[in-house]
Amino acid sequence: MRLARRQFLALAAAAATMPLAWARAQDAYPTRLIRIVVPFPAGGPSDVQARLLAHNLSPALGQPIIVDNRPGGAGGSVGVKVVGAAPADGYMLLITPVDAFIQAPLVFKDVDFDPIKSFAPVASLVASPYVIVVNPALPVQTMRDLADYAKANPGKVAFASPGRGTQPHLIGRLFRLAAGADMIHVPFRGSAPAINDLLAGQVQMLADNFISARPYIDAGKLRALAVTSAARSPYLPDVPTTAESGFDKLKADYLTGLYVRAGTAASIVAKLNGSVNHALASAEIRDSLAKYGSEAEPRSVADFAALMVARARTSAETVAAAGIRPE
């Protein structure tokens, strides 16, 4: 009985100190290397943002941060699942476009993660409108020209996207429906390879974010026809909006978010959110983003979580309007 009592007292003492030890471990976070997973190839907008964020976030957190590109799978599911299977300790982060993340389960049958329930939103990062661009060899100057050309050349105009179910895919589908044209969708494994084929003339149109498209627009290698924002962009003031061009259903924006696995301690999520928002306020990040026609979009954890829920509703409506069914 005495031995059993001693064991009980030892276990009770250990149990009493566990919450304190756990709290101290959370307060000490981070104590080792942090990994940011990008579920798309290197060179794309999410990758650019991840590297910019890692460079500015590492000094604030006092630990090295590396970017790990894990492209592949439906809706970037390879990289998403890497983070979803990691311990819920804040050392494995995910950067991905918000809409592509939310829409993946709506357009792919084999996606077995729930972006709302399986992951905890940490911070919203960068926002910009999409810009609809074409290869300059295409004989069009406006969105109406493009619609007329595509209608007059059925099956000869291909629009690219960084993947099925992404916002550029939906924009292309909605444009095709509005134009009443027979256009071909060519999905790629990210924005960078889609732009490469657009530059080569293998595809003719792409709705892309400013981060990827602006350098080629400035160099005259791509022609901008419209931006998808409600108002014209100050970075491309001569380019009309899609609404001005007669395609008001194409309004959309590009927003990226940072996530961890669900179950990660709220104190860790809060620390990451504060550190990220502080980094987004730095002149280096803001100046770097401005070069691409993009802006930082810091939010609290609660505000970002609410935005995720709201976008889940609107995404379901947009996917239905675009006539996309799970495959």
DSSP string, 235-276: TSTTSPBTTTTT-GGG--EEEEEEEEETT--HHHHHHHHHHH
Percent of the chain with pLDDT over 90: 61
| Across 12-35, average pLDDT | 64
Do both 160 and 172 map to the same domain?
yes
Helix axes 45-61 and 210-218, enclosed angle (nearest 10): 120
- How high is the pLDDT of residue 238? 94
- How high is the pLDDT of residue 13? 52
Q: Is residue 301 part of a domain?
A: yes
Q: Is residue 64 part of a domain?
A: yes
Q: Which domain holds residue 279?
A: 31-127+253-321
Do both 148 and 179 map to the same domain?
yes
250, 269, 290: which is the final residue of a domain? 250
Do both 173 and 93 map to the same domain?
no
Q: Is residue 104 part of a domain?
A: yes
- Averaged pLDDT score across all residues of the chain: 88
| Across 65-69, average pLDDT | 96
- How high is the pLDDT of residue 210? 82
Do both 134 and 213 map to the same domain?
yes
| Across 52-75, average pLDDT | 91
Quickly state the pLDDT bin for 293 (edges 50, 70, 90): confident
- How high is the pLDDT of residue 89? 97
| Across 175-204, average pLDDT | 92
**pLDDT tens digits along 295-310:** 899 999 999 999 999 9
Q: What is the CATH number of the domain that holds 213?
A: 3.40.190.10
SS3 content of the chain, % helix, strand, coil (to 5): 45, 20, 35
| Across 166-182, average pLDDT | 92
226, 250, 274: which is the final residue of a domain? 250
- CA dist 101 → 50, 67, 115, 297 (Å): 16, 18, 7, 17
Q: Is residue 21 part of a domain?
A: no
Q: Is residue 206 part of a domain?
A: yes
Would you say residue 270 has pLDDT above 90? Answer: yes
Do both 96 and 159 map to the same domain?
no
Contact indicator for 222, 200 with CB cutoff of 8 Å: no
Would you say residue 292 has pLDDT above 80? Answer: no
What is the torsional sign of CA 110, 114, 115, 121?
A: negative
**pLDDT tens digits along 2-11:** 444 454 444 4
- How high is the pLDDT of residue 14? 52
| Across 318-322, average pLDDT | 85
Would you say residue 21 has pLDDT above 50? Answer: no
Would you say residue 24 has pLDDT above 70? Answer: no
pTM of the model: 0.80
250, 270, 287: which is the final residue of a domain? 250
Q: Which residues pair with 226 in a beta bridge?
A: 132
Q: What is the CATH number of the domain that holds 265?
A: 3.40.190.150
Query: What Rg do the C-alpha atoms of the chain give, in angstroms?
Result: 22
What DSSP designation does 76 have? G
Q: Side chain identity at 23, as an amino acid letter?
A: A
Neighbour count for residue 68 (Cβ, 10 Å)? 15
102 vs 96: CA distance, rounded Å: 10
**pLDDT tens digits along 83-102:** 999 999 999 999 998 988 88
Counting the structural domains of the chain, the total is: 2
